[in-house]
Amino acid sequence: MKLYDYILSPSCYKVRLMAALTGVKLDLRPVDFHPGAEHRGAELLALNPAGSIPILEDGDLILTESSAILVYLATKAGPEWLDNGTAEDAARVQQWLSFSGRLTASLGAARLHEMLLRPGDIGALQAQGTAALRELEAGLVEQGLRGMRFLAADRPTIADIACFPYVALAPDGG
């Protein structure tokens, strides 16, 4: 499997983390995201017309969304990372995978603004990021009251992997 990767990208980081935790070997193909904007070049746009990373290539399969890549890696190498097999657990995992998109849009955008000088209303991005962190914290408290230590189960799942990098790197966005 080949991962088109930018070392500073939280979305790429979660894929590398999932691969490491499941023992999946990835061939990393560094992408000059900044300042080169290689992800917007013809070669990578042919793989992902959205012009974003990560991109995972496994034979003829091309995956371009980090959540889909997490599901793929977990299904292939460590299905215990998905859920406990109940509808409720599967829904909780999916809820947090969707939520991770809000982390990208707020904390990720604030980080891009502060680190790579991308345009954006930093105050609004930080406020949205703080609200998302509070929502995540409330979810963990709720899980704690149910005797669970992680977002969707009593053990880490891809939900935790999907959210972790943005939380860990939130200080980079102020």
Domain layout of the chain by residue ranges: 2-79, 82-173
pTM: 0.92
Number of Cβ within a 10 Å radius of residue 19: 20
Fold equal for 2-79 and 82-173: no
For residue range 137-174, what is the model confidence (pLDDT) as tens digits? 999 999 999 999 999 998 999 999 999 999 999 999 99
Task: List the structure tokens of 79.
Answer: 């299905």
The string of pLDDT tens digits covering residues 58-116 is 999 999 999 999 999 999 987 889 887 789 888 999 999 999 999 999 999 999 999 99
Domain 82-173 fold is: Glutathione S-transferase Yfyf (Class Pi); Chain A, domain 2 (1.20.1050)
The CATH number of the structural domain formed by 2-79 is: 3.40.30.10
Mean pLDDT of 11-30: 96
Closest CA to 12 of 44, 46, 59: 44
| pLDDT attached to residue 77 | 84
